């Protein structure tokens, strides 16, 4: 007797979301199956990985993570071009971390200028991120959204405290929007409802349930992502059918395992290898729990995750 695997049928479907402009537009999402269950349905688009760059030099990153970008990271335009031309990036995520009041406290005008310059130097899609300071982000992302008008970027992140202004900016300038909540499935659904109630098209939202790093709460993010996907697919919950973002690099490169030197913990082996593996492992876990869009930092980790996707898809 031959083995017949049992198959689930799902009633719901994840919305496909496009980013960027033709002919360099990229689409992710659109699947009607759990991640990589291609034997049960269709998954027409690859997960998208965006290379993270910043508006200010990344002096807070571990040295070996700064190294691949050492010739370009003092200028976001060169950095973006390097990712597109040398690394073959599929998309850029420009994090305006320098606007944070505790960092360089750059003005919204400065941020808008950076956005304009970066966009005029690349053709691939661009994700524009604030500094996760809810008040400052309101002002920064309005200016950034205007500077990027009609480039079909993804703007983020809208949170409970500032979603109205950021969503309005995304709407007025034809961008997609990241809706972020803090590891709470019910608030994640609530934020999506609030956004759609103010007239924001639910098919232009990307859900960020808040990421974490392997060993530092990954299982919480994993469960929330998984539950969102199950609501979307098995309960056909239209408020939970957005693609999910995993903002991987932001969390991974702060943890002890990506920082502690070989002298301090010789039993942990090569720091560089360890850090790259940590980012790749974290990202892979999120792909398996339902993320369709990743933001990552180390080129080698991105390459490794790309290979995993090739094998699973």
Partner 1 sequence: MLIIGEKLSIIAKRVREAMMKKDKAPIQEIALSQWKAGAGMIDANIGPAEDGGEDLMQWMVTGIQEVVPLPICLDTTNRQAIEAGLKVHNNEWGRALINSTSNDPERFPMLELAARHNARIIGLTVGKGGLPADAEERAAIAAEIMARAMEYGVPLEDIYLDPLVLQIATSQDHALKVIKAVKMFQELNDPPMKTVVGLSNISNGCPKPLRPILNNHFLALLMYEGLTAIIADPHEVAPTVKTIDVIMGNTLYAHSYLEM
In Å, how far from its chain's centre is CA 8?
29
Give me the least distance between CB of 302 and partner 1, in Å please: 32
CB closer to partner 1 out of 105 and 186: 186
CB closer to partner 1 out of 77 and 187: 187
Q: What is the spatial distance between Cα 171 and Cα 165, in angstroms, rounded to a whole number?
A: 10
CB closer to partner 1 out of 27 and 183: 183
Q: What is the spatial distance between Cα 226 and Cα 230, in angstroms, rounded to a whole number?
A: 6
Cβ atoms of residues 275 and 298 within 8 Å: yes
Where do contacts with partner 1 occur on this chain (CB under 8 A)? 185-187, 189-190, 193-194, 197, 227, 231, 235, 237-240
CB closer to partner 1 out of 162 and 188: 188
Give me the least distance between CB of 227 and partner 1, in Å please: 8
Give me the least distance between CB of 164 and partner 1, in Å please: 15
Region of residue 219 (left: phi > 0; alpha: psi -120 to 50; beta: else): alpha
Give me the least distance between CB of 208 and partner 1, in Å please: 16
Give me the least distance between CB of 197 and partner 1, in Å please: 7
Give me the least distance between CB of 193 and partner 1, in Å please: 4
CB closer to partner 1 out of 13 and 227: 227
CB closer to partner 1 out of 141 and 224: 224
CB closer to partner 1 out of 70 and 235: 235
Give me the least distance between CB of 230 and partner 1, in Å please: 9
């Amino acid at each position: 007797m031959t083995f017949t695997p049992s198959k689930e049928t799902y009633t719901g479907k994840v919305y496909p979301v496009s980013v960027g402009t033709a002919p360099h537009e990229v689409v992710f999402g659109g699947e009607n199956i759990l991640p990589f269950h291609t034997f049960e349905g269709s998954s027409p688009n690859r997960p998208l990985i965006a290379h993270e760059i910043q508006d200010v030099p990344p002096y807070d990153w571990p040295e070996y993570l700064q190294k691949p970008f050492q010739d370009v990271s003092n200028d976001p335009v060169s950095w973006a071009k390097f990712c597109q031309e040398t690394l073959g990036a599929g998309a850029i995520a420009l994090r305006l971390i320098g606007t944070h009041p505790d960092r360089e406290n750059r003005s919204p005008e400065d941020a808008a200028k950076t956005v304009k310059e970066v966009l005029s130097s690349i053709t691939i899609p661009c994700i524009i991120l604030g500094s996760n300071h809810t008040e400052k982000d309101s002002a920064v992302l309005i200016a950034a959204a205007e500077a990027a008008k009609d480039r079909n970027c993804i703007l983020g992140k809208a949170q409970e405290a500032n979603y109205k202004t950021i969503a309005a900016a995304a709407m007025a300038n034809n961008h997609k929007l990241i809706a972020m909540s803090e590891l709470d499935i019910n608030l994640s659904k609530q934020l999506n409802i609030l956004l759609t109630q103010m007239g924001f098209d639910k098919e232009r939202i990307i859900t960020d349930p808040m990421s974490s790093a392997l060993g530092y709460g990954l299982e919480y993010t994993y469960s929330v992502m998984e539950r969102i996907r199950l609501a979307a697919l098995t309960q056909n919950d239209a408020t939970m059918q957005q693609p999910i973002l995993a903002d991987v690099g932001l969390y991974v490169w702060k943890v002890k395992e990506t920082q502690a030197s070989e002298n301090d913990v010789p039993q942990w082996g090569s720091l560089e290898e360890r850090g790259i593996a940590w980012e790749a492992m974290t990202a892979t876990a999120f792909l398996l729990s339902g993320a369709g869009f990743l933001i990552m930092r180390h080129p080698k980790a991105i390459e490794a995750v790309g290979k995993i996707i090739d094998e699973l898809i």
